[in-house]
Amino acid sequence: MFDVDRLLLIDGHSVAYRAFFALPVENFSTTTGQSTNAVFGFTSMLINVLRDEQPTHVAVAFDVSRASFRTEEYAEYKANRSASPQEFKGQVELIKEVLDALSITYLEKPGFEADDIIATLSREAEDAGMEVLICTGDRDALQLVTSRTTVLYPKRGVSDLSRMTPASVEEKYGVPPGRYPDLAALVGETSDNLPGVPGVGPKTAAKWITAHDGLDGIIADVDSIGGKAGQSLRDHLDDVVRNRRLNALVRDLELSAAPAELGFTNEWNRDAIHRVFDALEFSALRERLFDYLGGGDESASGTTLDLQLTLPGPGEVGAWLAEHAGPGTELGVDVGGILRPSGARADTVAVATGDGHSLWVSIDRLTPDDDAALAGWLADADRGLVMHDAKGQFHALLAQGWETAGLRADTALAAYLVRPDQRSYDLADLSVRYLHREISASDDSGQLAFDDDTAGADAAAQRARAALDLWAELRPQVEQHGALELFDNVELPLIEVLRRMESRGIAIDGAHLDALHAEFTDRMVAAAQDAYAVIGREVNLGSPKQLQVVLFDELGMPKTKRTKTGYTTDADALQSLYAKTEHPFLEHLLAHRDVTRLRQTVEGLQKTVQPDGRIHTTYYQTIAATGRLSSADPNLQNIPIRTESGRRIREAFVVGEGYESLLTADYSQIEMRIMAHLSEDADLIEAFKSGHDFHTVMAAKVFDRDPGDIDGGLRARIKAMNYGLAYGLSSYGLGQQLGITPGEAQLLMDDYFQTFGGVRDYLAGIVDEARQTGFTETIMGRRRYLPDLQSDNRQRREMAERMALNAPIQGSAADIIKVAMLGVEAALTDAGLRSRMLLQVHDELVLDVARGEEERVESLVREQMASAASLSVPLDVSVGHGRSWHEAGH
């Protein structure tokens, strides 16, 4: 530390604005639509300065508004500044939330600017013998520079700060800091809308200031200053005097805090930091904060538990388990190794009890007796095993030949049900948040990063104990959130079902994939050549900058939405542009993009085919806040189905060796059926029970026609409405889908809601109820918390309202298909059938069907899926059979 206290003062609006324009706004936003580039840049700068400068005291000053005593004197002061961009609005309040979490004081003073607050605090700090650092992009602060006060001035964005000392100010501007306001008065300040003397630049102004001992001397000698510049000065002397009066910073404000009260000790409330950074979705930035600064309040001391660790000798595992891990006891378990469907391997197992005992074993050192003891213990359903992210560990244990039957809780799932909108459920992070203690993290393979047995064993034991203690903290919260039944009866048993599906994988026709890749490559090259032929030269079709030149400069097309890097060339913009112009270059460019995407999809599949000729995707239960499953490596939910080319990709997924066919089964219009159940709309329920085409019946009711008079166009309009309801579709969005104006779309929506009043009332009521309770709920009790429903920021509030509309419907669909999966898996096992479930994609299940079992399996699947939930309308299940996923489609 330093011999004297060091005060860091930050101009909040100045740094936030610089961050906003330095970072592309389109790259920084939350899932609720809140732009965060200014918050990210500000927070990143703050972390760097706190780390590099190690201040003992910190404060941030903000402007209250543009109105101040300066605008009262000169109405044009800063009048040239445009209104804050829409994306910037609301970000200052978020920055204040970050500061609150870090226990950093921020100050405001109506009628004055942040500069005046900083000037006052810097004077007071110097008088108290402190060093002062001022971080700002406002050059007016240069007048505050002294031997004890340094300005950190951003040179580029907010990451590169220049240290402005008395010497550097004089070197750059030719005058000492105290006379910088004189120079600025003469030259003017464009950003403040203060005009300078025409024809007088910084060099002339500095020369005059030096020769006449400052601005007062210049004014006194004004008649003796010759040349055109001198006459210009005399003509604009009133402006100069006014400028100097306005740019003088106030140094004697009465503030709510003095420098001595701005102590910064990084005694933070880590839970508050986690909440704020979760909402902002700043996971990497949070890691930087903790890595660089450490610290935290007493609730996160960074200590670890002192566990009584046992590294058993040969043959001693069974005795330890008998003494410390008997039936009915909850124990934490942590498995190290390769924790994924393909190539899984268990290397270590750690067990921790609630009374401070722990066991760590290395698999390769187990004797046959140890192996048998551990295997029997894991397979005993009477044991209460608590694990974190158990599915990967199940894969590793099964690779060792060990079944696991006694899982009591998975703390990743518990944390997810409590806070479904978090971005990460890492055990180390949750331990800090809920248990207020640090534990060692593992690398991507699940291996602990230790070479030494003792260190690695202790870290693994700490993780096992953290899972156990975390469950004790989370269980009451899961119950409080009304999710205990969902946890015990759906999410937890689904782990083993997903583990089996991942292990089985699905067979792939590699030759078909190779042929598709070659075809898509040829089509991609041909589309590019066709595009080049239109404009007469080759360009990089993947370069936004080059496309901007071609589209808007050379071809003169209508401008798209403007971004910081020019006019957007994203897919939606280009599709809209093509609809307007039908230009052949756009036709070929869009074709090139489509086939490139298909080729990339095929390449991704080729890379993930394992030596057994199958793809083993990984399913995640904690990614989607709605409760839907996600898949990765590869993401099978991205396999296109609505285009012919996309369907041909599904032809590569084939029946496995030794099986007769693939069976696919999915729900028909499940989201609208859930809508009918939740809204209790009589006409909607009747439409489902009629037995006729649902969308046609709905269109007939809306347009007051006989179903036979409904053509494809009218049906398409109502179909778009039906599905859009579950996603909070706006009139603008509906208009975009149907190619009609927002006004026409609104009229269609009005007619729809007039016909189906129950739907209208339900959609209106669900948002109002969520605004009061803070959450929405599915038919099985899954909650999604939406604090932004109370936000003052319109963009965040409207995004939360759309989430409130779709979360109960999408979440209920997710719950239903999960219950169906549990039922299908159990029914297949109970019936002793060889057929097996392979994939779950959206609302569809895919199974390998063994020879001679097709009829029984179809009946079983229909029964389990149809009975997964009791709704006021039937759950209709469509089933298909075939040699490939595409052929089995229906």
CATH code of 609's domain: 1.20.1060.10
Instruction: Give the per-residue pLDDT at 304.
Output: 59
Q: Is residue 324 part of a domain?
A: yes
Q: Is residue 368 part of a domain?
A: yes
Within 550-649, strands assigned E span 562-563, 566-567, 614-615, 618-620, 630-632
Closest CA to 191 of 134, 137, 133, 237: 137
Place of tokens 């209208």: 760
Instruction: Give the per-residue pLDDT at 296.
Output: 53
- What the block records as the tokens of 684 is 């909607």
Quick one: 454 and 536 in the same domain?
no
Closest CA to 683 of 876, 877, 872: 872
Q: Which residues contact 356 (CB under 8 A, 6 or more apart)?
A: 305, 306, 307, 308
Average pLDDT over every residue of 288-306: 59
Alpha-carbon distance 693 to 716, whole Å?
12
Q: Which residues contact 217 (CB under 8 A, 6 or more apart)?
A: none
Q: Domain holding 712: CATH number?
A: 1.10.150.20
Alpha-carbon distance 698 to 716, whole Å?
11
Domain boundary among 615, 632, 654: 615
By mean pLDDT, which of 133-137, 677-681, 760-764 is the weakest?
Answer: 760-764
Average pLDDT over every residue of 148-154: 93
Q: Domain holding 423: CATH number?
A: 3.30.420.10
Q: Is residue 868 part of a domain?
A: no
How does residue 300 score in pLDDT terms, banded at 50, 70 and 90? very low
Strand, helix or coil at 80? coil
How does residue 757 score in pLDDT terms, banded at 50, 70 and 90? confident
How does residue 1 score in pLDDT terms, banded at 50, 70 and 90? very low
More confident residue, 185 or 522: 522
pLDDT tens figures, 844-876 = 999 999 999 999 999 999 999 999 999 999 999
CA distances from 326 to 322, 371, 377, 403 (A): 6, 17, 9, 18
Quick one: 20 and 128 in the same domain?
yes
Quick one: 479 and 528 in the same domain?
no
Quick one: 500 and 585 in the same domain?
no
Strand, helix or coil at 587? helix
CB neighbourhood size of 75 (10 A): 8
Alpha-carbon distance 632 to 618, whole Å?
5
Angle at alpha carbon of residue 797, lines to 791 and 800, rounded to 5°? 120
**pLDDT of 810 over the 60 cut:** yes
Domain boundary among 505, 530, 564: 505
Q: Is residue 357 part of a domain?
A: yes
Cα dihedral sign, 173-174-179-185: negative
What values do phi and psi take at 217, rounded to 5? -70, -35
**pLDDT of 132 over the 90 cut:** yes
Quick one: 254 and 399 in the same domain?
no
Q: Domain holding 94: CATH number?
A: 3.40.50.1010
Quick one: 450 and 531 in the same domain?
no
More confident residue, 890 or 523: 523
Instruction: Give the per-residue pLDDT at 303.
Output: 52
Q: Is residue 26 part of a domain?
A: yes
To the nearest whole number, what is the mean pLDDT of the chain?
A: 87
**pLDDT of 518 over the 50 cut:** yes
Note whether 417 and 486 are within 8 A (CB).
Answer: yes
Instruction: Give the per-residue pLDDT at 292.
Output: 66
**pLDDT of 440 over the 70 cut:** no
Alpha-carbon distance 845 to 857, whole Å?
12
Q: Is residue 200 part of a domain?
A: no
Quick one: 26 and 161 in the same domain?
yes
Q: Is residue 225 part of a domain?
A: no
Quick one: 427 and 331 in the same domain?
yes
pLDDT tens figures, 606-663 = 999 999 999 999 999 999 989 999 999 999 888 877 778 878 999 999 999 999 999 9
Domain encompassing residue 337: 301-505
Note whether 39 and 91 are within 8 A (CB).
Answer: yes
Q: Is residue 856 part of a domain?
A: no
How does residue 299 score in pLDDT terms, banded at 50, 70 and 90? very low
Instruction: Give the per-residue pLDDT at 149.
Output: 95
Quick one: 18 and 102 in the same domain?
yes
Quick one: 308 and 335 in the same domain?
yes
Residues in the chain, overall count: 890
Quick one: 256 and 388 in the same domain?
no
636-640: long-range contacts (C-beta < 8 A, 24 or more apart)? 636/839, 636/841, 637/841, 637/842, 638/601, 639/601, 639/841, 640/598, 640/601
Domain boundary among 615, 646, 679: 615
Quick one: 458 and 360 in the same domain?
yes
In the chain, what percentage of residues exceed pLDDT 90?
49
Alpha-carbon distance 338 to 155, whole Å?
46
User: DSSP string spanning 311-344?
Assistant: ---TT-HHHHHHHHS-TT-EEEEEEEEE-SSSS-
Instruction: Give the per-residue pLDDT at 353.
Output: 94
Alpha-carbon distance 316 to 337, whole Å?
22
**pLDDT of 375 over the 50 cut:** yes
Alpha-carbon distance 651 to 760, whole Å?
42
In the chain, what percentage of residues exceed pLDDT 70?
94
118-138 in b/e burial notation, b at 16+ Cβ within 10 A?
bbbbbbbbbeeebbbbbbbbb
Instruction: Give the per-residue pLDDT at 580.
Output: 86
Domain count along the chain: 4
**pLDDT of 584 over the 80 cut:** yes
- What the block records as the tokens of 236 is 């604009």
Instruction: Give the per-residue pLDDT at 727.
Output: 64
**pLDDT of 49 over the 80 cut:** yes
